[in-house]
A and B are shown apart, each in its own frame.
Chain A
Amino acid sequence: MAKYQEGALILSHEMIAPALRKLVLYAPQMATTATAGQFIHLAVGDDSHLLRRPLSIADADSSRKTLTIIYKIAGKGTKQLATRQKGESIDCMGPLGQAFTLQGEHPLLVGGGIGIAPLLLLAKSLCPRPSEVLMGGRSAEDMIWPALFESICEKLHVTTDDGTAGVKGVNVELLPDLLSKGKFDMIYTCGPKPMMAAVAQLAKEFHIPCQVSLEEYMACGIGACLSCTCAKTNGGRAKICTEGPVFWSTEVFD
């Protein structure tokens, strides 16, 4: 699959929660080829941050030729990115990495925190399959997701650590119950690593195929620098930027 470097025009850049931003980019080449699970590697736009930042594609609209990114202001680079304004152009490389495999009749999507972002395009791509989404976050303040998923999934299950939205607790606590109802035949997960490990473990117990989306610090984003590799369960190593970020859970979790 071809990869592009393109100067993407910022069509909108809005605050959707105190630390969350939604960025809509006009990027004709990438928008027409991007699929769920892939990411772009973008230059935040000043010389002091020489490394690009990898961000998942939360939506791709091939007719409008736009990509949507939802990101959390996590440190210096994303803070700098947040200052970029509508009308400016951002240097992006993409679409990068392996996409989710669309399969199953009743998929379950499990997301934690900002890891919910790539599940948006996934849920949309899985339509009209009746997918369900289990999402967890810290508190109601950053639980902006339910409204975004409303029209693209069958059912939502929400947890927050402090109980200000949905069920109080962490999302994986609801998982055994959901899975034992027995109708899911595919699981996708993205979020903090311990959460994905727990999801992978349960998927194995319930004999349901599962895909995970991994993260690591990245320099090149295209498989050249080996900054981002991870151990595979078969003893080998994989580059998260090119062989991932999406893996079958059994490839990377015991």
Chain B
Amino acid sequence: MSSKLSTVFAGISMKSPVMSASGTFGFGLEYSDFVPLQALGAVVVKGTTLAPRAGNTGHRIAETPSGMLNSVGLENPGVDEVIKHILPQLVPYETPVIVNISASTVEEYGLLANKLSRAPIAALEINISCPNVKQGGMVFGVEEESAAAVVASVKQNTDKPIITKLSPNVTDIASMARAVEQAGTDAISLINTLQGMVIDIHSWRPVLGNVMGGLSGPAVKPVAVRMVYQVAQAVSVPIIGMGGITTADDAVEFFLAGASAVAVGTANFANPRAILDITQGLEDYLSMKGLDHVSQLVGQVKL
């Protein structure tokens, strides 16, 4: 990977600023037949909770125009299993691993951070924005005080950099960003999925077992770019931009809006090599524009 792309994000050295989005890339290992994990900026793994979770019943995905809904409901083996059996397998790849955490109480977030603080990982991403769990989840992501309390609780329990992932399902994303910055987050990632619903017109039933789900993919990209732009204006911590990134051109938009790194989610399903293709495309774009480093794009949108 060229030095044009090497990035230090929230203190984490990365070969490139292009990483996977939580929940779309498993623990990375699942993709290792298709993508050399060493080539990723970071592997952001599936949302992890204190106890194992079975997730939602019924269909969990539905394709929508230029996007998809999901209602996985945070199925995961629980943090102890992740620490004991999964994270060690990622060590040989020498790629920063970021663990995405979710909980239903402020204390649980702290406990999770504590357990993970000795694991071989680069950072924690706090998911206060998952729309698919009834308890907790997004409630934290839509109220400034509780979001700040979660960040503070995680901060107290770890020395690792913390990234707070924001929900787009709010009226004022900028004040939410300011609240988590004040609470001590080292970085912000956005956007998580937008709440949506699809109805089968033959059965008259919702397609998803959980009735509603989170929208992702190209359909959400303009919303995501707008929110990254607004948050970049409001805070000084670095931003990981995501939402519908499918090509290097999409990624460039996020950098221009103010993101210092990007994550790729739904696009991995369409093309398991998406992150590699985007990384290569980004390098080509920089060369074409005669730029020496990707950081020269960050926040450079001209008004």
Give chain A's interface residues, CB within 8 Å of chain B: 2-5, 43, 47-52, 76-77, 91, 93, 216-229, 231, 237, 242
Contacts and interface: CB of A to CB of B under 8 A. Distances in A.
Contact of B26 (A47, A224, A229): A224
A217 B272 contact: no
Contact of A219 (B31, B34, B55, B68): B68
B59 A225 contact: no
A136 B70 CA distance: 34
A50 B218 contact: yes
Interface string B16-32: 00000001111100110
Nearest to A228: B60
Nearest to B54: A237
Given A50-B270, A51-B68, A224-B27, 20 more contacts: A2-B33, A5-B272, A5-B273, A49-B63, A50-B66, A93-B34, A216-B59, A217-B60, A219-B61, A220-B24, A220-B268, A222-B31, A222-B272, A224-B24, A224-B26, A225-B70, A226-B60, A231-B57, A237-B55, A237-B75
B62 A217 contact: yes
13 contacts: A4-B33, A43-B270, A47-B66, A48-B65, A51-B63, A216-B60, A219-B68, A219-B70, A219-B266, A222-B31, A224-B24, A224-B31, A225-B23
Interface string B194-206: 0000000000000
Interface in B191-235: 217-218
Contact of B72 (A4, A5, A223, A226): A226
Contacts of A218: 61
Nearest to B268: A220
B155 interface: no
Interface string B30-73: 11011000000000001000000011010111110111101010
Q: Interface size for chain B: under 10, 10 to 19, 20 to 34, or 35 or more residues?
A: 35 or more
Contacts of B68: 50-51, 219
Interface string B267-288: 1111111000000000000000
B95 to A, nearest CB: 16
A135 B239 CA distance: 57
A49 B270 CA distance: 9
B217 A50 contact: yes
Nearest to A224: B26
A163 B30 CA distance: 46
A202 to B, nearest CB: 26
A237 B77 CA distance: 10
Nearest to B24: A225
Interface in B243-286: 266-273
Interface in B131-187: none
Contacts of B75: 226, 229, 237
Contacts of A47: 66
B37 to A, nearest CB: 12
A229 to B, nearest CB: 6
A218 B68 CA distance: 11
Contacts of A43: 270-271
Contacts of B23: 225-226
A226 B46 contact: yes
A240 B66 CA distance: 25
A118 to B, nearest CB: 21
Contacts of A228: 60
